[in-house]
Amino acid sequence: MKPFQIAVTGIGILSALGQNKKETFENMKQNQTGIDNIQSFDASKFISSIGAEIKGYEPTDHFTLEEQASFDRCSQYAILSIQEAVSEARLAQENIGTIGLAFGTCNGGLNSLEQQNGLSNLDSQLTKNYPFFQQGDSVAKHFHFNGPVMTLNTACAASGNAIGFACDMLQHGYADAMIAGGSDSMSSSVYAGFNALKALNDKPCSPYNHRYGLSLGEGAAFLVLEPLEKALERDAKIYSVINGYGLSSDAYHETAPEPEGKGILNAVQMAVAQGGIENERIEYINTHGTGTKANDPAELKGLQSFFGDRFKDINVSSSKAYFGHNLGAAASIEYATTLLALEQGLLPATIHFEKAREGCETAKLVTNEMLTETPDYFLCNNSAFGGHNASILSKNVFHSPQTPIFDSNSETAKQSDVVICGFGTVHALANKSGSILSSFSIQPSPKTKLDFSLKEYNKALYERRMNPLTQFSIGACDLAIKNTLQDKEWSEDIGLVYGTSRGSLKSAEKYLGSILDRGIDNASGVYFPDMVLNSTAGKIAKKFRIKGFSSSHSSGGTDGLHAMLYGALTIKDGKQKTVLVGAGDESSDLSDEIDKALHLTESSYETTEGSTFLTLADEEIAVQQGLDVHAKVKGFGMSFNSEDNLYRTIKNSISRCLDDAKLTVSDVDFIFYHNNNVFDTNEFIKLKSEFGSTPIFTLNNTFGYMESNGSLYHTQAAVELLGLTDEEQQKVTRSLGWTKGPLKKGLIVTTSINGNCMAMAISK
């Protein structure tokens, strides 16, 4: 395995301080703030009426009417900043190969819902622009990206998470270049939520200052990332080299950080361990520093415990006083502007600073004016609602020596093999212990309405107001843990990767409904924390005390396999020995409205709900701990339909997967296919005829369509099937009408409604 060295070769920024990176940075250098009176809605009823909005933004300056109608504001901002980044990196001019996108967002297309002032009889064009995954997918389509496309939804850590995911895609050869970053636009209902939580500052925020409170912002920043050797080869401009990143979960609270900063500490430890450098070489930290009473001292405590005595000598600053808290775009805007400052031999400052607040006195804060310094390595950290943390370790290429050297000699330890050691599903057709095998041969749709109460399943796992999605997911996770451990001991040192296309729209209905019913100044503080899609992952982490690598994403149909991919890579890279991967869907009236807008109501499959969890482990550890190994994960292939040829895209994902797994078509004994049967019906028929005797089978006829969980559900089905003896297997395959057997290797193939295609190979 080659060392982890990912180069940043392009930057695009759109912020309250400017509509490009130059303008943004020049204003920062002059200690300007973009925080001003809110213009986009009436904020007079709130405890604060200021925020960092993009000045003079006119969609008509950038987009045709048709484009404006098909992109939420969140996507519009992203497109503009990506345009700037890819132009700088000359991606269009040079033959780069496979390009993917990792898109971080906290609010998705919420503006498109807000605009409608209601939750029923929605306008389909606007509603189509709402889903989180729609942001990443529409942007990928706009730029014709053909590689892995994923929307990360880990709230205020989302774009840090996206940068990390993108680096993994490059490191493992799934793309030649990745565009990574985040975007979020100002939202009245999000502002109302922070107002309800009394987290807003009535003066422009200044983190660590004695006047606490945050200022919300909006904007986007995206980076072009490439493996360092490729960037050097084509003589691209290099801004920095990313050497490692870490993700973690506080497993503590839905909005407040763990007070000792243990969550951010875990993320930093993981990033620095991956980079393999001595702590002494880290000379600057750009912190999350929101300015709230709870965040700032906790974060500093976590860093202090990592660096010890040396912490007081490390320059630290939060950039949020310049352009506010940009939520899902916070990490990428802060990272990108840190690079622009380092290029000038400067460090970003925390402006408007008067005196340090209690608990923040010992840090060496860079305040009020940029500082002339050239740190060797630096960290950029972010934390989020739901307890997710992200830390990125980078080498400052403007520190001597000026040209980054590709370190081709230092081979890191060999990659681990990943196995599946447990599973559990909560679904109308799953049995009590979470198995779905017994329902395989049931003929179409006897019963797909799920009746599951976590309170009845295990009251200790339930909390009041817990939405159905979280109940299903905690239930499935518990079943998977039981299935994995049997009666063995539970280790808390594990990771969690979770996919959900829509999150809990029942909670969103409650929250947005509270604004519609009671007014924007009386929004529900208890439902606001569930508006972020990573809230379910955060609650699972808290219930099972999962504090390791933690991520949450939305991909509109491929979510389950994306969770498998990210979990498997985390184990391959040695960041975690065990990872729980899951996905889940919940039905609701608002979800039905979205189905209509996305044409999913035209599917022959019934839309259904549920959750599946699988336990992934490093093979050596699984054997050591005596866990049952049900199947092995062999490889993945991702392809996005950028050229309007879905069949070719599916085939691409399959051939990339077979290459990755070092298999040929003839090695494959069966294919499970999670499709939506709206946009991919003909492709399914074509695939069946092309693969001839290899059975290609979908369970969606029987089990219904689960947007996020379907692909993981099919994975569990394959795992259960591979785990059987040849004789037992034959009984099942005969009932399905399959003639081939015994089954040793299989593929799970999945498509999303926007043409995101993915394949995974597993074997006995």
Partner 1 sequence: MKTLNEIKEIIKVNILIERLELEDIEADEIEDNEPLFGDGLGLDSVEALDVVSGVEAEFGILLQVLEEEEIRQHFYSVATLSNFVESQLKATVNS
- The binding site for partner 1 (CB under 8 A) comprises 47, 196-198, 253-256, 464-465, 518, 522, 524-526, 529
Measured from the CB atom, is 427 or 539 closer to partner 1? 539
CA distance 220 to 85: 11
Q: Closest CB to partner 1 among 119 and 294?
A: 294
Distances (CA, A) of 411 to 2, 4, 392, 509, 613: 5, 10, 21, 51, 34
Tokens encoding 213:
């409170």
Q: Which helix (H) or strand (E) holds 382?
A: strand 377-383
> Could you tell me the smallest distance in angstroms from the CB atom of residue 475 to partner 1?
18
The single-letter code of the amino acid at 464 is R
Q: Is 288 a catalytic residue?
A: yes
Closer to partner 1 by CB, 251 or 268: give it.
Answer: 251
Instruction: For partner 1, give the closer residue by CB, 310 or 465.
Output: 465
**Rounded CA gap, 540 and 474, in Å?**
6
- C-alpha of 491 from chain center: 25
| 167 in active site | no
Which is catalytic among the residues 325, 388, 562, 630?
A: 325
| CA–CA dist 665, 384 (Å, integer) | 43
- State in angstroms the smallest separation of the CB of 293 from partner 1: 9
Closer CB to partner 1, 255 or 612, in the complex: 255
Q: Smaller CB distance to partner 1: residue 256 or 371?
A: 256
What the block records as the tokens of 420 is: 């599946």
Q: Tokens standing for 236?
A: 């691209």
Smallest Cα–Cα separation from 14: which of 288, 289, 326? Answer: 326
Least Å distance, CB 295 to partner 1, is 14
Q: Which of these, 417, 416, 420, 418, lies nearest to 614 by C-alpha position?
A: 420
Q: CB under 8 Å to 675, separation ≥6 — which residues?
A: 681, 683, 684, 698, 700, 750, 751
Task: Supply the minimum distance, in Å, between the C-beta of residue 265 and partner 1.
Answer: 22
Given the residues 106, 156, 380, 477, select the one marked as catalytic.
156
Give me the least distance between CB of 208 and partner 1, in Å please.
Answer: 19
> Is 562 annotated in the active site?
no
Label residue 261 left, alpha or beta by phi (over 0 means left) and psi (-120 to 50 means alpha).
left
Do 305 and 270 contact (CB within 8 A), yes or no?
A: no
> Is the CB of 385 or the CB of 705 nearer to partner 1?
385
| Closer to partner 1 by Cβ: residue 432 or 464 | 464
Angle between helix 710-722 and helix 559-572 axes, rounded to 10 deg: 60
Closest-CA residue to 365 (of 378, 380, 353): 353
CB atoms within 10 A of CB 197: 17
CB of 132 to partner 1, least distance (A): 23
Nearer to partner 1, 48 or 266 (CB): 48
Nearer to partner 1, 252 or 322 (CB): 252
* 3 state SS for 86-120: HHHCCCCCCCCCCEEEEEECCCCCHHHHHCCCCCC
Residue pair 21/13 in contact by the 8 Å Cβ criterion: yes
Q: How far is the CB of 94 from partner 1 (least distance, A)?
A: 50
- Contacts of range 397-405, beta carbons closer than 8 Å, 24 or more positions apart: 397/238, 397/239, 397/240, 397/241, 398/342, 398/343, 398/345, 398/374, 399/374, 399/375, 400/374, 404/5, 404/7, 404/228, 404/232, 404/238, 404/241
Say how many CA atoms lie within 13 Å of 296 toward its Cβ. Answer: 31
Strands 6-14 and 219-227: what pairing?
A: antiparallel
671, 750 in Cβ contact below 8 A? no
Cβ neighbour number for residue 277 with a 10 Å cutoff: 16
Minimal distance, residue 255 CB to partner 1, in Å? 6
Residue number with CB closer to partner 1 (255 or 652) = 255
Residue closer to partner 1 (CB basis): 202 or 354: 202
CA gap 43, 45 in Å, rounded: 6
The C-alpha angle with vertex 548 and arms to 545 and 551, in degrees rounded to 5, equals 100
The residue to which tokens 């797994």 are assigned: 661
Query: What is residue 509's three-state secondary structure?
Result: helix
Distances (CA, A) of 657 to 171, 236, 582, 654, 662: 16, 30, 21, 5, 8
- Nearest-angstrom CA–CA distance, 584 and 582: 7
Q: What is the DSSP code (8-state) at residue 198?
A: T
Residue type, 742: P
Whichever of 414 and 464 has its CB closer to partner 1, that residue is 464
- 594-604 burial code (b ≥16 CB/10 A, e <16): bbebbebeebe
Residue type (1 letter), 84: E
Q: How far is the CB of 350 from partner 1 (least distance, A)?
A: 24
Closest among 409, 582, 402 to 500, alpha carbons compared: 582
**Active site positions, annotated:** 156, 288, 325
